[in-house]
A and B are shown apart, each in its own frame.
Chain A
Amino acid sequence: MSDMKVLIFGGIYNNYLALEALLEAAEKEGVDQIYFLGDVGGFGPHPDKVFPYLRDTKNIFLMQGNYDHSIGNRLEDCACGYTDPRDNYFAQISYDYTLENTSDENKDFLKSFAPEFRRDWAGKRILMAHGSPRRVNEFLWESTSPVGFLDYILKASDSDVLFVTHTGIPWMREFRDGRKVVNVGAIGRPANNGKTTVDYVIVNTNTLDITLHELAYDHVRLASEMAAEGLPEPFVQTILTGWWTTCLEVLPARERARGIH
């Protein structure tokens, strides 16, 4: 069954309102399958509100991100891969909140998520991973993922088309021979571009046409719920403005310069 419309997304970060809007968009688009590339928690409010959507949706495939591994195993931090104390400071606030407010049943559910997905679409070897095929919390940014390096990553992972998330900023790089690497972005928070929309990808498995999509959702409501939960004000600002205010140090120079903070 190769001729399908498939939706791929990552990084919910507790944003159940964006997830709800995404599932409505999937319905409207007539999507056959949905792939989630990991990171249910972090950043947003009311962690447990995401889970019913994940449990009740048909034809959804769930992957474990670094956050899901940490929450599922009740670890002390998200293992997000940040190296700067300021990044880690804000990441830890999110993490502690998410760990405290995720039920045991949902924590255990996260442990059942798959480490990666492999498919054969149109005769191409498709690989979906959270950070990169070699490391769950590796950041693949557009400006620091050169063609030669991605060629190595594809060959080393026996794949022709690779989908990842983890960074939260979408991009796509296509090789002359048709191989592709796609970062699907995240639906949990905007992509540091001044837009309040979030991002996902739709794939035609017959033609392997891949399109990046922007998704609008009730971000004002999310922001007010975050504020009511006492989550840090900079997080709320990101939802309202589309600019990252925290976890900035991990950005390469190019991606950092696009933002205002």
Chain B
Amino acid sequence: MIEVDFRAVDRKDLPPPTLDFLHLDTLWLQVTGTLCNLACTHCFISCGPKNDSHPFMSLDDVRGAVESAAAMGVQEIYFTGGEPFMHPDIKEMIELCLEVAPLNILTNGILITPEMADWLAHKFKTAKYSLDLRVSLDGTTPKENDAIRGRKTFDKIIASVELLWNAGINPVITVTTCHADLSAVEGRMKFIELLAEHGITQPRMKFLSPFKIGREERRDQGYADYQRLVEGDLLEGEEHDLQCSSCRMVTAKGVWPCPILIEVPEARMGISLDDAAIPIKLDHPACYTCHVEGVSCRT
């Protein structure tokens, strides 16, 4: 925990820190843009069934980005959206990525059919590199989860987690800590007990702090004026912990520094990954969350 009273100085007129780009370790692909089968109240990019501000990426878009990233020596690839399993070409996309690097898919799990679960499990067992799924769940009861992710989603998510586990895939359950006590030890134990009740004996969990932008800004509240980074805030060695020193996000509309900022037009870095291998200014309030909470979007 960093104990600094940022309010003690007037920070809004100070320049933001600059962060060097070290290497493209992580390629993020917004494969289904902002289109999602759910419209969670905490979503930091307002994804939903009607938001096509970032459309689906084409198979060629994905191939192009993956080839560029491979030439840069990428270590790992992530799919997110929106909901990646809405994409009709998802299998081809998964296959072409796994030729090059390990792949993580962030999903709500709801659209994964038994046939898809078996196909994923086969890829998991036979691909050269690791295939990992992260399934989002925001509570250990329907009441807790459905208040954020939508009516009846708890049962559907649990069913998909069971389906994956039984097929041979053990997804990482990703929890956004909107319910404050979920990240504490007791909160974590509740998730582990829930998974055990459903036969999952090797619980894998990731807890993420919410970002106060997108739909979450309306659910909770936005950032205060003082909640932004200025020169001198970064700790020694922190550049390695901030994922934006080693990742870029590609959508159908271009390249962004990280998965969080794709609805911030000024954050767009260009059309190709080569354009984006440059330093960035950490001038967005969401950067404050990554710094203070130590958030990394990596699994």
Contacts and interface: CB of A to CB of B under 8 A. Distances in A.
Interface of A: 83-86, 135, 141, 143-146, 148-149, 151-153, 156, 248-249, 252-257, 259-261
A210 to B, nearest CB: 21
A148 B101 contact: yes
B22 to A, nearest CB: 8
Interface stretch (B2-10, B39-47, B127-135, B139-147): B127-135
B129 A152 contact: no
B102 A252 contact: yes
Nearest to B24: A152
Nearest to A151: B73
Contacts of A152: 23, 72-73
A253 B102 CA distance: 10
Contact of A253 (B23, B100, B132, B206): B132
A153 B75 CA distance: 10
Given A148-B100, A149-B75, A135 B130 contact: no
The 10 closest A-B pairs by CB, nearest first: A152-B73, A143-B130, A253-B132, A149-B75, A254-B130, A146-B101, A252-B130, A144-B102, A148-B70, A149-B73
B75 A146 contact: yes
Contacts, number: 71
Interface residues of B, number: 31
B91 interface: no
B63 interface: no
Interface of B: 23, 25, 70-76, 100-102, 124, 128-133, 168-170, 172, 185, 188, 202, 204-206, 240, 296
Contacts of A260: 202
A259 B206 CA distance: 19
Contacts of A249: 204-205
12 contacts: A143-B130, A145-B75, A146-B74, A146-B76, A146-B102, A148-B100, A149-B101, A152-B23, A152-B72, A253-B131, A256-B202, A257-B124
B158 to A, nearest CB: 20
Contacts of B296: 83
A148 B204 contact: no
Contacts of B240: 135
A84 B192 CA distance: 14
